[in-house]
Each structure stands twice: as C-alpha cells, then as structure tokens.
Structure 1
C-alpha cells in the first residue's frame, strides 16, 4: 500500500500479503482493509498490520 506525501512523493506504508479490494481511513491515522485472501485487516498509524477477522460465525469471509 502506498501513500502520497504532501511533497508529491509516494511512500510504502504496508503490505497486506494478499489482494486488497477496498480501503477506508479510520480518522485516527489507521486504515481498514478488505482483503480477498486475508480477510478484514487494520493498518495502524504506526504501521502495524493486524488481521481483525477471517470469518463470521465460522463462515469464511468471501470478499
């Protein structure tokens, strides 16, 4: 994942290790990510990637 800085340069901020389909900033410096391979992820403002969910009630997320 890349972020465009104010100076116009692109900076790598994370890698899901999967296939991200959608992103949503959380307002606290983090990003929520829907990934077709890994599920629902959260990238913190500090750069820590966390898998939040891979299934719901035992059924895999089909993203």
Structure 2
C-alpha cells in the first residue's frame, strides 16, 4: 500500500474505496447497496492494519458524502 501523506485518505486503499463508492452511487446504487458491495469486496482481502484503515477511511468517505 502506497502512502503519500499523513491524512486518513492519503493512501491507495482509501483512494480505491472512494472511487469505487462514488462509482456505485453514480450508477444508481443506494448508500446501503454501495456500502454492502464495498465491504464484501474489501474485508476478506485485508490484514489487521489495513482493516483499521479501511473502516476509518470508509466512514470518513461516507460522512463526506452525507451518507
């Protein structure tokens, strides 16, 4: 995982989550449907450190999008 800054969203994992979530919402998925799909795609592939980063990033992304 590449990191380019000190903020929660300054890494490859968060960037991928953000793009995928926005794409799903843009394709007409509800917040619940998009969230479920992102979680299913990511959770099984992550180690403990990445899991923490995933949940923090995803929560911040959803909050910024008003979901």
Shared fold (TM-score, shorter chain, > 0.5): no
Higher strand share: 1
Point out the structure with max Rg over C-alpha: 1
| Range into which the TM-score falls when normalised by the shorter chain | under 0.3
TM-score scaled by length of structure 1: 0.24
TM-score scaled by length of structure 2: 0.23
